[in-house]
A and B are shown apart, each in its own frame.
Chain A
Amino acid sequence: MTDMKTEKIPNSAEPGKNADPFLIAGQEFTNRFLLGTGKFKNKTDVSESIAASGTQIVTVALRRIDLQRHEDNILEYIPSNVTLLTNTSGARNAQEAVRIARLAREAGYGNWIKIEVINDSKYLLPDNAETVKATEILAQEGFVVLPYILPDLNIARALQKAGAATVMPLGSLIGSNQGIRVKDLVRILIEEMDIPVIVDAGIGAPSQACEAMEMGAAAVLVNTAVATAGNPARLAKAFSLAVKAGRRAYLSQPPAPRGLAEASSPLTGFLYDA
């Protein structure tokens, strides 16, 4: 378990202050559910899912932003108070990711960038080594870098050192809805990283998102599950609630499951009775 004492979690908030701030690069958020925008059947579903979930960070692939078509441009469906996290989807190496990030900034989409370097079109597994290279360059250039990775402690440390704002390990194969299959590895990152650990891919159900949060993840990013749901907005809301529940559970230091039954009333308490 994470040593809770090192985290500043006040029992009761001072008036007007967030008792449990979620900070990325110094920016404070209150909602720990992040949403991706791919695979939706229409863009109204995107905006409704954003509204229903109350998400404050939304990721969009630069490759999918259509500058020519204003009426159907995805950006029109993302409210201005939401932080736009452009991603480098389509990049096959560090160099391409860097180019895409720079293009995004030049186009006026801000300096938050989710690095996705994928060199495998079959499994879509991120290329950790290239991701570190891209992070080194982009963090140096003043980007707020959120790298998508396979959970690997050494890589996560290298990213933190390079100036990454978070690390975003996958829970299972992207789009697979399998939840956190690499639990032990993600848990290590949660324990060892100072920057927020956001579980990014494979989360297919609110219960899985809740589990990630109970483990101590700082946030969860979901796309496919919401985008391909019968009612995306409703599921987005459910995810958001599950993330909140998981966070609360984590903060309340739930007891660990045990193999044996344990009596609720102590058996030897009588020995110490006054």
Chain B
Amino acid sequence: MKDHISLKHIQALLENRDPLTTEKLARQAAVLTQQYFGRTVSLYAPLYLSNYCSSYCTYCGFNSRQRIRRIKLTPGEIQSEMQKVADTGIENILLLTGESYQATPLSYLLRAVEIAGQHFTGICLEVHPMDTEDYHTLYLHGVDAITLYQETYDRKRYQSVHLSGKKKDYDYRYTAIERIAQAGMRYISMGILLGLGDVAEDLYSLFRHLRWMEKAYPAVEYSLSFPRLRQIRGQEFCSGTVDDITFTKIICLTRLLFPRVGINLSTRESPRLRDHLIECGVTRLSAGSNTAVGGYSVFEQPSQDPQFDIQDKRAVQEIVRTLKSKNFDPVFTDWRPIKNT
């Protein structure tokens, strides 16, 4: 299906309720995943540095209107959190913050990256979008990967859920993906928040965006994520929930259209789903995750709400055992930091 990604095709596929269609799709996806990735699954862990946020995104537990305790880890706390994660064997770290240019400016991120360099071989950031120059500075300091989700590609919907703050600026976020590539980053993770906009339309736009990036910046290794929106505090944001069958089809379809692209699946999904979806497309799993700021070591009892609830609570070693029993090789390190210039 060369360059032609059709919205109609995506819609038809997602609407098709025939189990046989899903099975066929999964089998094709499994063959491609096996061909391009073998039986390997990369592991990473998220580490929340801060939950300060200056944007008001109606669906997010960290948004600026939420009356939650705001915490920002100090260098000492970052050190202790990272040590705890590194002790589990994790080598790829995903550093996250809320989107606050004031609370977690570039200088703060650089300090965190510097500490991460002592513990991990792969450093990825999931923070507010920024200018090329700042991305490049991060790259020079050892960041090889950036995760940034557009959330939804539907402008109207985007405006209706991102009510204030820098995140309100759709175009600044959209064009950031290209700035990340221009800054020299090796890996870029893109994604949409399933349930925020029309799923088929968002998928279509995401695929188009990725295809465009692949052509413009072929050296970058891309991966995709499909976090499913969950309700927070009883508020209703979803335009429609994505069930497991649809979710599985989305993973498989992505694999068919992009055989070499990584697909991430976080612990917000259940062990059962994660253990099955590595067969048909998923190539990267987070493991042993804690999604509260300071949740690994600093605060025994998380004194703030996590950004989302974890479904897969298994420890890293337990996930490793499961992967091995399912004939997968867990990959901890897939990059060795060479000095970026």
Contact = CB atoms under 8 A, between A and B. Distances in A.
Contacts of A39: 37-40
Majority-rule SS of B interface residues? loop
B339 A121 contact: no
Contacts of B36: 175
Given A41-B39, A92-B219, A100 B91 contact: no
B341 A95 contact: yes
Interface string A48-60: 0000000000000
B304 to A, nearest CB: 31
Interface residues of A, number: 32
Contacts of A65: 333, 336
B39 to A, nearest CB: 4
B214 interface: yes
Interface in A89-122: 90, 92, 95-96, 99-100, 103, 118-122
Of A39, A40, A95, A227, chain B has the most CB atoms within 10 Å of the CB of A39
Given A63-B333, A63-B334, A100-B338, A228 B34 contact: yes
Contacts, number: 79
Interface in B27-67: 34-40
Contacts of A90: 186, 335-336
Range of interface residues on chain B? Answer: 20 to 34
B91 A40 contact: no
Interface in A162-219: 175-177
Contact of B222 (A95, A121, A177): A121
Contact of B218 (A62, A63, A69, A122): A122
B38 A38 contact: yes
A129 interface: no
B341 to A, nearest CB: 7
B122 to A, nearest CB: 10
Interface string B310-338: 00000000000000100111011111101
Interface string B288-314: 000000000000000000000000000
A173 B338 CA distance: 27
A111 to B, nearest CB: 18
A63 B336 CA distance: 5
A101 to B, nearest CB: 10
B260 interface: yes
A40 B38 contact: yes
Contacts of B218: 119-122
A42 interface: yes
A152 interface: no
A224 interface: yes
A122 B38 contact: no
Contacts of B130: none
A133 to B, nearest CB: 15
A38 B214 CA distance: 24
B334 A69 contact: no
Nearest to B214: A122
15 contacts: A41-B328, A42-B324, A62-B336, A63-B335, A65-B333, A66-B91, A68-B91, A90-B335, A95-B341, A99-B339, A118-B219, A121-B214, A122-B218, A122-B260, A224-B38
Given A68-B91, A99-B339, 5 more contacts: A40-B39, A41-B327, A63-B334, A63-B335, A92-B219
What 3 A-B pairs are tightest by C-beta distance, nearest first?
Answer: A39-B38, A41-B39, A99-B338
